[in-house]
Amino acid sequence: MKRVILPLLVLFGISMLFALESEPSDVVGYIQYTVATNNYGFVALPFGTTMVDASDLATDMGTDISSISYWDNGWHQWLVGNPGVFDVYADHSYLVKNANVSSPVTWYIEGTVGTPASFDIVGGNFTQIMLPLDCSDLNLASLLAADIGPDVTSISAWNGGWQQYIVGNPGDFSVEIGQGILINSTTEYLGWNGTVRTATRNEANVTSKSNSKKQ
């Protein structure tokens, strides 16, 4: 769950858009992620980051985070406080565990909107991505699959549990910019960041699933 706050250009229903500009090229925004109680959630670092490794991310999110994982030809997991910490990178997404059984974790990532993220989609395996911030028109798993290419076979996301859309079958679901997603494809697609957008780059058109607000 997350709420996206980006440039003050257009208001879309209950979506909130906001910008602070120091110079014409410096547009600042934030994304709110909410990780449910005793559950996992995908978070991302979409605005660039000064974080070096997973321990920095866990510290920033709070003491209730017990593990951080990412997919690279299999799940790689770091248990907070143990050896095996790995580096984290701008525009990448991570699967985090909230160990608190009574309270969700609400976390904000802030920064300057810059060059849209791009990803190398591998062939014959899953690729973990963050849906780029300029792809608000790709709001369904089926649209995302079609945009990447005809050899994408499935789109998966974590929504309290794994949700998967197999291309050409029922089970389509909504996706949002800044969301962590697993792509499965039989062919590689190098440098994908969406085709020419039908919406203005960096506009947000995201329906919030959370009622909490940034204080």
Please report the pLDDT score of residue 5 as a whole number. 53
Structure tokens at 127: 């690729």
Please report the pLDDT score of residue 3 as a whole number. 55
pLDDT digits (tens, 9 = 90+) for 77-98: 999 999 999 999 999 999 999 9
Spatial neighbors of 183 by CB under 8 A, at least 6 apart, are 121, 126, 127, 128, 129, 144, 145, 148, 152, 154, 155
**Cβ neighbours of 69 (radius 10 Å):** 17
Q: Is 200 strand, coil or helix?
A: coil
pLDDT digits (tens, 9 = 90+) for 171-197: 999 999 999 999 999 999 999 998 654
Structure tokens at 31: 């994304």
Please report the pLDDT score of residue 208 as a whole number. 33
Please report the pLDDT score of residue 76 as a whole number. 97
Could you say which residues of the chain have pLDDT below 70?
A: 1-26, 195-215
